[in-house]
Chain A
Amino acid sequence: MSALTEIYVDNVTRHLPEDSRPDIAAEITATIDDMVDARLGEDADTSPDHTAAVEREVLEELGDPVALSREYSNSPQHLIGPNSYPVFVWALRWVLPVVGLLAVLTNVVTTIAVSPGVQIGEIIGKAAGNTVIALLTAFAAITIIIGLGDRGMDGGAADSLRKRKPGTWTVDDLDRGDSHGKQIRAEAGLGLVFIVALATVPLIPTTLLYVGHLNDGETFINPDLGVGWLVGYWAFLALMAVVEIIKFTTASAKPTVALFGGIVDLAMAVFLTIALLTQPVLHPELTNTANADIQQIITVIAIWIITVWDQVSTWRIYRRNRR
């Protein structure tokens, strides 16, 4: 075996499982030698230069060793396969906006709470930087988790094929599950989780976000806030929960339910805007006179971003379902 063939064979086998390398290397080497011999046999010229030229020709015919190695390995050459792709897109569409908004809110509130007198530019800079990191981390986590799942089920294709023997499929095997209904249920379930999380916000102690030293571990909410505001907040959340429960149990998003949900969302946003702009809603010890208003305004902006995004996505789903 010439040095060139040896290098070529090494290039092919270096990415293959170790136990299969010697066998494949021996087979490729024998093949290359056979191909070279066959071509030299047709030729009268047996000079070393001619032999080297023929060998080069044979190796080039076999092509890129990486491609040949890929053919041998026969493993999936994709990260997210066709069966996992819809789940991947769905996860990105739901998780990234939520992570982004939570990251912005958390960063704004904690930056202002930890550094009294902080400038608006610093708040934006910190929030933007940390939000980008949070988004990239979430994206990487989703991609890795679904990519690993995809490896486990070979893109889903092999899994679905393994379920039954060839030729045994009947129409009774059709998946009669309402995929549209399943999606509505999944979205409603996720919505309920968010609502429960939002309901607990007035009760969360500052120690949970490692800023408990600022107000002796009390909540983020002003303890002097009228009980009526809290009851109103929970009442609106209860209405939102009712909408999601209806969607979950009926597995459908009828226009009336969607419209009612939209109205409740808007009413909630108006309620929170009034609450935030008429009194200190956040704990006074977390704010200071210079930045208290900015904190409240940023929170209001975040609330309206969430509300508008929710309205737009609801409208898009409604339009999609009408088609």
Chain B
Amino acid sequence: MNEDEGKALATHEQELRRGTVVFASLVACRRPQYGYSLLTTLTEAGIATEANTLYPLLRRLEKQGLLTSVWNTEQARPRKYYTLTDSGAEVAAALHSHWLELNSSITQLWKDGTP
């Protein structure tokens, strides 16, 4: 792969990631998560995410009513925990079925195009 192809691949991978991070965050937030715990959860699941895009994203999802947040001050370090709302759960479920459909479509397309 030459340098130009490498750059193009990096751009397309970034585009793919951008779409999946929202979905992955909603799925992960079915259990309460604070910023860093979500980051490590996603990283351990193999979904590489940059911290500087994840935290603003959480706030946007909260504004959209898909997540709700609460500050936990009982621990030594106060942390803001995000949890999926009812509408967030509906969106996550819908995204999940879309994801499965896409996966099967891409797999079929790949098979059909394989010589």
Contacts and interface: CB of A to CB of B under 8 A. Distances in A.
A34 B54 CA distance: 15
Contact of A30 (B34, B53, B56): B34
Interface in B78-114: 78-80
Contact of B55 (A28, A33, A38, A61): A28
B53 A71 contact: yes
Nearest to B56: A71
Contacts of A30: 34-36, 77-80
B36 A27 contact: no
A62 B80 contact: no
Given A63-B52, A71-B53, A31 B60 contact: no
A34 B77 contact: yes
B51 A31 contact: yes
State the 8 A-B residue pairs at the shortest beta-carbon distance, nearest first.
A34-B36, A71-B56, A31-B35, A72-B56, A68-B52, A63-B52, A62-B52, A27-B80
A38 B50 CA distance: 16
B79 A35 contact: no
Chain A, interface residues (CB within 8 Å), range: 10 to 19
Interface of B: 34-36, 40, 50-53, 55-57, 59-60, 71, 77-80
A74 B60 contact: yes
Given A26-B78, A30-B77, A34-B77, A71 B52 contact: yes
Q: Select the residue from A27, A28, A33, A74 with max chain B CB neighbours within 10 A.
A: A27
A28 B54 CA distance: 11
A323 B26 CA distance: 50
A301 B60 CA distance: 60
A30 B37 CA distance: 11
Decide if the interface of chain B is mainly helix, strand, loop or mixed.
helix
Decide if the interface of chain A is mainly helix, strand, loop or mixed.
helix
A106 B71 CA distance: 66
A118 interface: no
B55 A31 contact: yes
A74 B56 contact: yes
A23 B78 CA distance: 11
A62 B51 contact: yes
Contacts of B55: 27-28, 31, 68, 71-72
A68 B56 contact: yes
Given A34-B77, A34-B79, A72-B56, 16 more contacts: A26-B71, A27-B80, A30-B35, A30-B77, A30-B80, A31-B55, A35-B51, A38-B40, A61-B51, A67-B52, A71-B55, A71-B56, A71-B57, A72-B55, A74-B56, A74-B60
A23 B56 CA distance: 12
B14 to A, nearest CB: 15
Contacts of B51: 31, 35, 61-62
Nearest to B58: A27
Contacts of A31: 35-36, 51, 55
Nearest to B79: A30
Q: Select the residue from B35, B40, B60, B78 with max chain A CB neighbours within 10 A.
A: B35
A31 B51 CA distance: 9
Interface in A47-105: 61-63, 67-68, 71-72, 74
B35 A27 contact: yes
A38 B34 CA distance: 14
Interface string A6-45: 0000000000000000011011101101110010000000
A78 B110 CA distance: 39
Interface in A264-302: none
A45 B55 CA distance: 29
A270 to B, nearest CB: 59
A38 B77 CA distance: 14
A59 B101 CA distance: 39
A251 B16 CA distance: 45
